[in-house]
Amino acid sequence: MDFEEGGQDQRNIDELAETLYSCISFRKGDRPDLERLKSLFIEDGMLINNNDDPLIMTIDQFAAAIDQQLSSESLESFSETEGCKQD
Task: Name the band, by pLDDT with cuts 50, 70 and 90, for residue 7.
Answer: confident
pLDDT value at residue 9: 85
Question: Which strand (E) or helix (H) includes residue 55?
Answer: strand 55-58
Rounded Cα distance between 25 and 21, Å, is 6
For the entire predicted model, the pTM comes to 0.77
Cα 64–chain centre separation? 14
| pLDDT tens string 31-69 | 999 999 999 999 899 999 888 999 999 999 999 999 999
Picking from 20-24, 41-45, 55-59, 78-82, which range would have the lowest pLDDT averaged per residue? 78-82
